[in-house]
Amino acid sequence: MKNKKIKILLAAPRGFCAGVERAIEIVKKSITKYGAPVYVRHEIVHNKYVVDNLKKIGVIFVDELSEIKDKSRPVIFSAHGVPKSISAEANDYKIEYIDATCPLVSKVHREAENLHKAGYHIILIGHLNHPEVIGTMGQLPEGSIDLIQNEKDVEKYKLKNEKKIAYITQTTLSVDDTQNIITALKKKFVEIREPFKEDICYATTNRQLAVKNIAKKCDMFFVLGSKNSSNSVRLVEVAQKSGCIDSELIHSESNVPFHKIEKCTTIGVSSGASAPETLVENFINKIKAKFVVKIDEIEIVKENVVFKIPAKLN
Ligand code: SF4
């Protein structure tokens, strides 16, 4: 196999976004400031490699605040955001908390609150049970937001007594699928109010465009990322819909399908917003060990977004 030539088209931008960089930095700075252990509610970002490395420096991950054994230690809320009830619960327990919610998720939270105050009933386009969706719905009293996941849900959706409705979306959805849902919503509810600025974030949009740009030239496409990472799973779907049917997610338990790669001339590679570049490098090194590899990085846009970390950690 060693003399078989494979071209790798490497999508750019890929991997860590500004929200993920910030969340990880918040955890590391918290360890420096408070010492170990520091608790994190939910995976700080959806990536096993990141989570395992943080465990090594003294981070304890919990699903609920009730699991925190030593409530004198601080807890960090993950980048996906939390319902208001969670900060209230932390206050009840007198646990110090640091909020690592991505500012672009917080923007959607504020949008939901403002719409609610202005008397709108809200439709949230997103995935059931995703932590970001739970967090966004939890910004408002129960019954103020309805979740819609697809065009079928739009068809079935019935207004109750609402006079004014508005929609918002999860930040990590497929740009194209969401557009179809929005078109269906606007057709059904012509008066529906749109967000001032799109809720799907810059990182999601750029990573999807970068994959779309090269997928049709590839015999196979690989996305490095975790199974529970919405962003990464969407990239696999985008690659498939853009013409590379044989697209796969490479996660912590995946085996590299060398027997299939052997039959390819060109493969595409990208990674989700929560996947570190090391995972891409390791993957490419495995391919390099078996084949003669030529790498072409195709960058569609330069990203320079940086988010500040909370002042109390500086
Ligand atoms: S994917 Fe977007 S919304 Fe999510 S953490 Fe990254 S920048 Fe923030």
Using CB atoms within 10 A of its CB, is residue 28 exposed (0-12), middle (13-18) or buried (19+)? middle
Cα 172 to ligand 1 centre (Å):
7
Q: Quick check: CB of 170 below 6 Å from ligand 1?
A: no
pLDDT at residue 161, rounded to an integer:
77
pLDDT digits (tens, 9 = 90+) for 93-140: 999 999 999 999 999 999 999 999 999 999 999 999 999 999 999 999
Q: Quick check: CB of 154 below 6 Å from ligand 1?
A: no
Cα 148 to ligand 1 centre (Å):
20
pLDDT digits (tens, 9 = 90+) for 30-60: 999 999 999 999 999 999 999 999 999 999 9
Cα 79 to ligand 1 centre (Å):
8
Average pLDDT, the chain: 96
d(CA 15, CA 232): 9
Q: Quick check: CB of 276 below 6 Å from ligand 1?
A: no
Atom of ligand 1 nearest to the CA of 20: 5
Q: Quick check: CB of 105 below 6 Å from ligand 1?
A: yes
pLDDT at residue 16, rounded to an integer:
97
Check: CB of residue 100 under 8 Å from CB of residue 77.
yes
Tokens, residue 61: 């991950």
Q: Quick check: CB of 24 below 6 Å from ligand 1?
A: no
Catalytic positions are: 132
In the predicted structure, residue 10 carries a pLDDT above the cut 90: yes
> For a substitution probing ligand 1, which of 78, 169, 171, 307 has the most ligand atoms within 8 Å of its CB?
171
> For a substitution probing ligand 1, which of 77, 204, 233 has the most ligand atoms within 8 Å of its CB?
204
Give how far the C-alpha of residue 283 lies from the chain's centroid of Cα atoms, to the nearest Å: 21
Beta pairing, strands 59-62 & 38-41:
parallel
**pTM of this structure:** 0.95
Q: Quick check: CB of 112 below 6 Å from ligand 1?
A: no
**Average pLDDT of 281-288?**
97
Tokens, residue 310: 């909370």
In the predicted structure, residue 311 carries a pLDDT above the cut 80: yes
The arrangement of strands across the sheet holding 121-125 comes to 145-148, 121-125, 165-169
Tokens 């030529």, located at residue: 294
Which protein residue has the closest C-alpha to ligand 1 atom 2?
A: 201
Atom of ligand 1 nearest to the CA of 201: 2
**Average pLDDT of 77-83?**
97
pLDDT at residue 2, rounded to an integer:
72
Q: Quick check: CB of 102 below 6 Å from ligand 1?
A: yes
In the predicted structure, residue 73 carries a pLDDT above the cut 90: yes
pLDDT at residue 1, rounded to an integer:
64
pLDDT at residue 6, rounded to an integer:
97
Q: Quick check: CB of 81 below 6 Å from ligand 1?
A: no
pLDDT digits (tens, 9 = 90+) for 139-195: 999 999 999 999 999 999 998 877 899 999 999 999 999 999 999 999 999 999 999
Tokens, residue 152: 């079928």
